[in-house]
Structure 1
Amino acid sequence: MTSKSTGSKRITSQDVAKLAGVSRSVVSAVLNGTPGIGVSERTRENVLSAIRELDYHVDARARGMKTGRSMTLAAFGDTAHPLFMRLLEGMQRAGEAAGYHLLLSSPGRGRPGEARSELLELYQQRRIDGIVTLDDTSYADAQWAQAVREVGVPYVSVEGYAEAEGIHSVHADYRGSMETALDYLRANDPGLGAAPEYAEVFSASHGGRVNEAERQRRQGYEDGCRKHGWEPVVSRHRQQGGRVDWADWCRQRSQRKPAPPVLVNWSSAVPDLYRAARACGLSVGGDLRVMAADNTIQGDVLSVPTLSCVEIPYADMGEAAVANVLRQAGGEAGPPSKLRLPAVLKPGESA
């Protein structure tokens, strides 16, 4: 395995091994997930650090000829969706470290099942080595799961198959994220005597249906309230055409000073809330303390005041999904597993 040239010298895996203080087989194990060679997390980080310092890149064509692999993974999702783009960030990071390329595949209009089937055909043609899909949190298609098992393709669903067995999947800990948010709000205001209101935004296009992520969030909110001895307070808000009308809610809130904080499930609804609050004479971070249970649009630092939030770690989920697929390809993954990653607390000025 070789890399691009640096000056007149081509950087090899032997150079990486020397800098990291390990054998060449350990470098190979980190890059390929080689069965039978255990690598500690500290050693793995040393190898990855050496790879970055030397700007080492795997010669995918040479390795593909040697291993019979295409050195390509398929990423299935909607590129217009910000969550998928965050997922790709982590997938690319993990893929590059292992010398893999990503093939993007879209569900297409009205043909998601057909698009998925095409990925199975690509695997059988040895044009991809595995598949990662970003699914709705309620997704659990038994027919697709059966097809994956029959073909034997290394596969991970991100967010899907939360309650179904037989498929490797990576999830966010939505329930835990709400408890993290409530703990933060309580720590920020030790005298808080009533529960922060949970403003549950729902999409009109979904007919008011609640998916698995929102059920987990609601459960986490209720669990967290019980832990602090609070009575839960939940309001529901309709999002239509990407907008939420907070005017009446803010007018009612303007009559309650001081009032407990509000915890909004979707950060995409917060800009409308900020505007409505100011129209009612409420200062965000003062009269109205706001926190979001996600940071999908990455709007925390762009908001004024900056938005307090708990961020769902989609980039880390993408990285974990690729690592799992590569373990499957190397025969090391074991039985189908479910990995739940904690949300990341990002304090701001709004709460």
Structure 2
Amino acid sequence: MGKKRVTSFDVAKRAGVSRSVVSAVLNDTPGIGVGADTREAVLEAIRELNYHVDAGARSMKTGRSMTLAAYGDTRHPLFIRLLEGMQQECELSGYHILLCSPRPKGNAGGRAELLELYHQRKIDGIVTLDHTSYRDEEWASRVSSAGVPYVSVEGYAEVPGVYSILADYSGSVETALGYLMREGTAAQPGPVYAEVYHEAAADNWAERNRRDAYIGWCKAHGMKPVIVRIKEYGGEWAECLQGLAGDHGQPYAPLLVNWSSAIPELYRTAHQLGLRIGEDVRIMAADNTIQGHRLSLPSLSCVEIPYVSMGEEAVRCVLQQMSGGKQAGQTEKIWLPAVLRPGESA
């Protein structure tokens, strides 16, 4: 038989106080004054009896589970970094995280289960990591109708009425170009922008923002924009690199790539062509999905989309919704700047 669970009644009896006083000490209940000696007696009884708060009972009393759902693909490195930020912020707020992942095709469940968990009071809010094209208005409507505190990371950028944590992709390109073309580097032609794409990928707001920022930067600096579209894993890097070569021995044009996931193939092609990265050709990435600044050789210069900070901000956004949200002047769209990671490639 299991050992009998210690209750707040046992703590009150050991400390010689009422259960309401024990509750006031545990919850810092406003309006109930507890003297220092009484508080210490209660805390001493808690330690002696090894008492732990009954989370289920507290949930019934407060209406809160002290748990947030994090929805995303656990195989994706960006989701793991998002979770790192969420965990840090949840620890500060006394919250736990419940992991929920998309189901394989053909299986029921997925996002619908999140709403069931909320109605069952097993979670207090939802954070989803979405792709930048995500804008499922039916899901957003169901969340709104249920009154669930919810935030999408990277989704719903152009949809009003949904809280989103978003990366400033325009600013990330401007930061990258500022570093790539910084003072002190050798005289060089204007930068070329390589836009890697999936075969079936939509032209989403993030890629448009990056492209427009590149074009705007070039025009502001009196340079001609040159955009090269590269199919991911399409074997087109050789032609791209050869096109960077200047006439009559002039230096290669610097290259800014939108996705760092394309960098391994680009590095391999440069090696096959006998080009030294960082010397013959200078390369930079407008994201850091693969942690290229640490895992590539030479180390990749890049700007990093701040997924850890986005996870922290997502938790704060959900908790603020629980505390009043729009009535408290909460902003629907929160944009976070990218972080420069200098390396040896540029």
Shorter-chain-normalised TM-score: which range? Answer: 0.7 to 0.9
Residue 164 of structure 1 aligns with an amino acid whose one-letter code is: V
The alignment status of 1:248 with 2:243, answered yes or no, reads no
Return the alpha-carbon distance in structure 1 between the equivalents of residues 241 and 112 of structure 2. 48
Structure 1's 255 and 60: CA in aligned 2 closer, same or farther, altered over 3 A?
farther
Aligned equivalent of 2:223, options 195, 213, 230: 230
Which residue matches 1:304? 297
Kept after mapping to 2: 8 A contact 1:78/1:84: yes
Compute the TM-score of the two structures, normalised by the length of structure 2: 0.78
Return the alpha-carbon distance in structure 2 between the equivalents of residues 162 and 230 of structure 1. 30
Which residue matches 1:92? 87
Aligned equivalent of 1:139, options 129, 134, 146: 134
Structure 1's 104 and 85: CA in aligned 2 closer, same or farther, altered over 3 A?
same
Return the alpha-carbon distance in structure 1 between the equivalents of residues 207 and 106 of structure 2. 26
Which deviates more from structure 2 when the two are superposed, residues 173-182 or residues 109-118?
109-118
The alignment status of 1:162 with 2:157, answered yes or no, reads yes
Kept after mapping to 2: 8 A contact 1:194/1:231: no
Q: 1:293-316, CA deviations, whole angstroms, 9 ceiling, x for partnerless residues?
A: 000011212211111000000110
Structure 1's 133 and 310: CA in aligned 2 closer, same or farther, altered over 3 A?
same
Q: Over aligned residues, Cα RMSD in angstroms? A: 2.5
Return the alpha-carbon distance in structure 2 between the equivalents of residues 237 and 327 of structure 1. 42
Structure 1's 168 and 297: CA in aligned 2 closer, same or farther, altered over 3 A?
same
Which residue matches 2:63? 68
Residue 265 of structure 1 aligns with an amino acid whose one-letter code is: N
Return the alpha-carbon distance in structure 2 between the equivalents of residues 294 and 59 of structure 1. 44
Residue 150 of structure 1 aligns with an amino acid whose one-letter code is: S
Find the residue that maps to 2:232 and give its secondary structure: strand
Compute the TM-score of the two structures, normalised by the length of structure 1: 0.77
Return the alpha-carbon distance in structure 2 between the equivalents of residues 337 and 112 of structure 1. 33
Which residue matches 1:49? none
Return the alpha-carbon distance in structure 2 between the equivalents of residues 76 and 159 of structure 1. 13
Which residue matches 1:153? 148
Q: 1:82-106, CA deviations, whole angstroms, 9 ceiling, x for partnerless residues?
A: 2111111111111122121111111
Find the residue that maps to 1:110 and give its secondary structure: coil
Structure 1's 128 and 244: CA in aligned 2 closer, same or farther, altered over 3 A?
farther
Kept after mapping to 2: 8 A contact 1:72/1:129: yes
Residue 191 of structure 2 aligns with an amino acid whose one-letter code is: P
Kept after mapping to 2: 8 A contact 1:60/1:100: no
Which residue matches 2:46? none
Kept after mapping to 2: 8 A contact 1:291/1:308: yes
Which residue matches 2:286? 293
The alignment status of 1:275 with 2:263, answered yes or no, reads no
Kept after mapping to 2: 8 A contact 1:95/1:102: yes
Residue 142 of structure 2 aligns with an amino acid whose one-letter code is: A
Structure 2 residue ranges without an equivalent (≥5)? 1-23, 31-51
Structure 1's 113 and 329: CA in aligned 2 closer, same or farther, altered over 3 A?
farther
Kept after mapping to 2: 8 A contact 1:138/1:211: yes
Find the residue that maps to 1:300 and give its secondary structure: helix
Aligned equivalent of 1:347, options 337, 342, 345: 342
Return the alpha-carbon distance in structure 2 between the equivalents of residues 126 and 260 of structure 1. 57
Residue 97 of structure 1 aligns with an amino acid whose one-letter code is: L
Q: 1:168-209, CA deviations, whole angstroms, 9 ceiling, x for partnerless residues?
A: 1110000111011111122145665632100111112x2x53
Name the count of aligned residue pairs.
294
Return the alpha-carbon distance in structure 2 between the equivalents of residues 301 and 139 of structure 1. 30
Find the residue that maps to 1:301 and give its secondary structure: helix
Kept after mapping to 2: 8 A contact 1:199/1:265: yes
Structure 1's 120 and 227: CA in aligned 2 closer, same or farther, altered over 3 A?
same
